[in-house]
Amino acid sequence: MRKHLILPIVMWMVIMVNTPGIMARSDCTKTVPQLFKQISPSVVFISAVSFDPFKPKDRVTTSIGSGFIIGKDGLILTNSHLVFGHQTISVTLDDGTMVQAELVGIDPILDLALLRIPVSTKGLSVATLGDSEKVEIGEEVMAIGNPFGLEQTLTVGVVSGINRTLPTAPMSLRLPLIQTDAAINPGNSGGPLVNRCGEVIGINTAMLGPAENIGFAVPINVAKQIIPQLLEKGRVIRPWLGVSGKFVQKELGEIINLPFMNGFMVEMVEPESPAERAGLNEGDLPVTIGGTEFMFGGDIIIAVNGGSFTGPGDLAKLVDSLKVGDHVRLTLFHRGETREIELRLTERPILPSDFQY
């Protein structure tokens, strides 16, 4: 084991040891009012303030939301879009006590953030973390949070879907989410989605504006995986290629009479990315086919290190399986010609698109 990984693992083990009931409970017979009394003391109200000195007016912006305590040492889990870029973060506990919070770590890709507050002499109530892999459609769930600043609000519903991906969402929400019809409104963000055992199975993070009672939560197991990195590094370190686009098949080219190959069509190349430095071409011709928008004219990545693509998520999986600093060989198809390039993956920075909520 690498030495630099020992500290976060040990710290997370301490959290696990100091967190009563961190494992799944067998008692799932409590009523909804009983569960609310059990869980609500661990749910907090978050208010973050930012100041823009360059605006002539409305220079102060306040963001409000929710979070929940996951460690006796004052660790709180919430959404990144509530707290990133703010000068001060205030946390109000269930008993009305207001304290200032420290930002420990943040990951806009998964829309998660870790805060720490001072530990009071009375101690802190800690939420029980469940197993989101065991969530089933139709299972009863509860959302607890502070919608529109209305503190400690409970809504009840069911799990409406699992592994739900929002194709129109920014990169930060393109992960399998839990869908629920328990009402989630502005201010619920960062609060817990809880099962009938009183365990947190998700972090409420998004809703579909035009719809009614269609909300989404980041699975709690996703948060468990990144907490050690947030504790040690303050961020999640990911390899970065620097392209966005769509998986296409050569049959698409027959529709528009253009040469095509199966692969990942590059629609945009991120500035200062490894892809830009390697000279990848981005799209320059907007075309809509069957209601789907494409940006044609860029490179089509048909293989990575000799491995081809069979589906939409293949490129992301291949990149995620690599490490920062790895060298990657891309096979590219562009306007009837094939070429190969080699580039070195760098660490993915925080991008403006990560905050398009």
Q: Name which of 32, 66, 33, 31 is nearest 47 in CA terms.
A: 66
Q: Name which of 211, 230, 12 is nearest 111 in CA terms.
A: 230
Distance separating alpha carbons of residues 214 and 207, to the nearest angstrom: 6
Instruction: Tell me the CA distances in angstroms from 77 to 48, 114, 126, 319, one per residue in order.
Output: 14, 5, 11, 27
Distance separating alpha carbons of residues 85 and 72, to the nearest angstrom: 26
In the block, tokens 């530990």 appear at 119
User: Catalytic site residues?
Assistant: 81, 111, 189
CA 317 to chain centre: 16
The 8 Å CB, 24+ separation contacts for 13-22 are 14/73, 15/70, 15/71, 15/72, 15/73, 15/75, 15/227, 18/71, 18/72, 18/73, 18/126, 19/70, 19/71, 19/72, 19/126, 19/128, 19/129, 20/126, 20/128, 21/128, 22/128, 22/129
SS3 36: helix
Distance separating alpha carbons of residues 276 and 291, to the nearest angstrom: 29
In the block, tokens 């889990």 appear at 77
